[in-house]
Amino acid sequence: MRDIMKNEADYKRLLEVGGMDQVPCLFIDGKPMYESLDIIDWLEKHPQDI
């Protein structure tokens, strides 16, 4: 878990990789997923990865 309000490097990474600073964002194999409903759906389908 990263907090972009507390860690500038994480903030920059989110912007660079994802193109925007919207949260929440889940990185899956280095790729950003932004929408919370998509994130919840993915987490429910991959409980072993939490």
Ligand X SMILES: N[C@@H](CCC(=O)N[C@@H](CS)C(=O)NCC(=O)O)C(=O)O
Q: Footprint of ligand X on this chain (CB under 6 A)? A: 20-24, 35-36
| Residue of closest CB approach to ligand X | 36
Work out how close the CB of 30 gets to ligand X at its nearest, in angstroms, rounded to a whole number.
Answer: 20
Whose tokens are 């929408």? That residue is: 35
In this structure, what token pair is assigned to residue 24? Answer: 């929440």
Residues paired with 31 in a beta bridge = 28
Q: Output 8 or 48, the one with its CB closest to ligand X.
A: 8
Ramachandran category for residue 49: left, alpha or beta (phi over 0 → left; psi -120 to 50 → alpha): alpha
Work out how close the CB of 39 gets to ligand X at its nearest, in angstroms, rounded to a whole number.
Answer: 7
